[in-house]
Amino acid sequence: MGSTLPEELIASISQQWHCRDLQIRQLINLLCPTLPSPPAIFIHGPQGSGKSSVVRTILEEYGRHAGCGSQPNVSSKDTVRKRKQKGVQDQPGDHSTKALFLSSTIRVAECITARHLLVKIVTSVIAAIQNATWPVFIDGAEKEWLKIIDKVRCEHVSTLPAVLSGILGKTRCEKYVLLLDGVDELREGGQMLLAALARMGEMVSSLCVIFASRFTPRPLFLQVAGVPHIYFPPYSRNEMLAILSRLLPPPVADLPEEIATKLYPLFLATLYDSLVGPAAGTVPFFRSASEKLWPKFVSPIVNQENPPGGEWDFSKLLVKNRALFQQQGEHILVHHIVSETPSSTTNGTSSLTKTTIQLPALPYLPTLVLTAAFLAAYIPQRLDTVFFSKFTSSKKKRIRRRGRFNLASQLQGQDQYFDDPTQTPTKSSKRSGAQSRVTKSTPASSSSLLGSRKGITNFLTPRPFSLERLLAIYHAIDPNPSLVALPVADAISPEIATLQRLRLLVPASSAAAASGGAIDGGEKWCLNVNITVSSSASVNEGWIVEMARGIGVDIDEYLAID
């Protein structure tokens, strides 16, 4: 297969990245230095699937095997001059048969603008050539190359092919691979910039651009036909257990090695089924969870506690630590929902402090999904086109905006009256206060926030809703929509799984069965707003309203309408 990597190196890469043999061999064949590569390659997979790490490992091995490695984060132009001063001259006769291979990686999330991305691409190419450990330049072309990089400028993507051709044209580089990691986090330029970068390989013969994304692209995403797509699927249960079973158990003092070897695989299977699987965890998350819970799980053996029977086995340890995965497990989840209640001990008894209890907060994406579920539960489906359609008439929007302005004016007038005790309310203010039923929003009244608003009396009972309707409302209320239209299944499914694990979203069938009513098997979901999140606080409508306001979504805009 030409000058591909030896089987020993391929086996070592496969041992380093388990359960990725197919993807590794595909990339090794596509990036072979002595064979033509496609101008663009698209790799995609969820976060934690190892796609970028596998590509970087293959590029590093190809760089060493082909005769040239690249070292990042060095951008000084004195490197070439120092090599020349030390007497290192080009020797074309010695390395003319070598396929010079260079590569660099760009993290797209670190680039603020499109120009910043282009400048970083050019800088990485120059740095890779300067840091080459083998003779790179053609005879007599080093001085011309230094003049080129002194005057290089790239202000627009249309000038990038000429700039890269000038930089790579004076070198022996037969293949340059550019890895753009995280193209789904591109801040400026959008799909048109990615389509232009995908055609760079057609204009620069030695260039191959690899796009890495967390989301599955839609057809012709790069507007180029024939782009190879390599999918890195999430690790299955058996794969995760196989990866972590090959590692040694976390060291625990006074724990015999044979007992740890016997109990650790069973512990990993239980940990995955109880915490990692329902929360859509990754391999690093799984490893971190096992390292935290393993010492607590085997603590009865280490502390030499008396077992119920003859000796400690896995079933007895599991019964002994049955609360470990429920209580301690919440602390290792990515999204914390259980908050520690501050307490003070007086005369040997624990008493709650008199401070206001702070309900837990969720990250941005789970909060947005929970807000969409709240609106889907309290707004009838027949009103979706009125509230969430992009083609809603501007008159209704003005009515909502005017209603919010009137509410704000009334609240401001009440604040001025309560702040100034010398003022006496007039008859008009009394009439306006009597006519308005808006209560002042305070932390104490947040729990009854929905029941005191006019216009919401018909929506006091949450209704089941379908998953498609939830996703549609999610798109409609998103205050920070993505510039690139990407499928949301990979991003929202873990959040829905987390909310289901926390019992904030439950299937309608299980909710109906628990209440004794009829079971609705139409794949609908229910909002569970009465769940207890700690020993002293429960989830209510006001908590969700306040969280939604914190991410820029005002539920009053959809529910509190005069």
pLDDT tens digits, 247-276: 888 888 888 888 888 899 999 888 888 777
pLDDT tens-digit profile of 275-333? 776 666 788 888 888 888 888 888 888 888 887 777 888 888 888 887 777 765 566 55
Environment class of residue 504 by beta-carbon count within 10 Å: exposed (0-12), middle (13-18) or buried (19+)? buried
Q: Which of 560, 553, 231, 181 is nearest to 365 (CA)?
A: 553
* Lowest-confidence region among 35-39, 355-359, 438-442: 438-442
SS3 content of the chain, % helix, strand, coil (to 5): 50, 10, 40
Confidence category of residue 454, pLDDT binned at 50, 70, 90: very low
- H or E element that contains 30: helix 21-30
Architecture field, domain 7-231: 3-Layer(aba) Sandwich (3.40)
Beta-bridge partners for 532:
538
- pLDDT of 477 over the 60 cut: yes
- pLDDT of 352 over the 80 cut: no
- pLDDT of 184 over the 50 cut: yes
Query: Helix, strand or coil for residue 524?
Result: strand
- pLDDT of 540 over the 80 cut: no
User: How many other CB atoms are there within 10 angstroms of residue 512's CB atom?
Assistant: 18
537-to-360, 430, 499 alpha-carbon distances in Å: 9, 37, 18
8 Å CB contact between 166 and 204 = no
Confidence category of residue 66, pLDDT binned at 50, 70, 90: low
pLDDT tens-digit profile of 546-556? 888 888 888 87
8 Å CB contact between 159 and 17 = no
Query: Helix, strand or coil for residue 480?
Result: coil
Tokens read off for 397: 């929007």
Average pLDDT of the residues of the chain? 73
Crossing angle for the helix pair 489-501 and 364-378, to the nearest 10 degrees:
80
Confidence category of residue 413, pLDDT binned at 50, 70, 90: very low
- H or E element that contains 349: strand 349-352
- pLDDT of 404 over the 50 cut: no
Q: Which amino acid is at 105?
A: T
Q: Find where tokens 């470990």 sit.
A: 324
CA distance 286 to 279: 11
Provide, rounded to the nearest whole percent, the portion of the chain with pLDDT above 70: 65
CA distance 159 to 366: 42
Q: Which amino acid is at 533?
A: V
Q: Is the pTM of this model over 0.95?
A: no
Q: Find where tokens 């293949």 sit.
A: 175
- H or E element that contains 14: helix 7-16
Tokens read off for 27: 């990339």
CA distance 398 to 418: 30
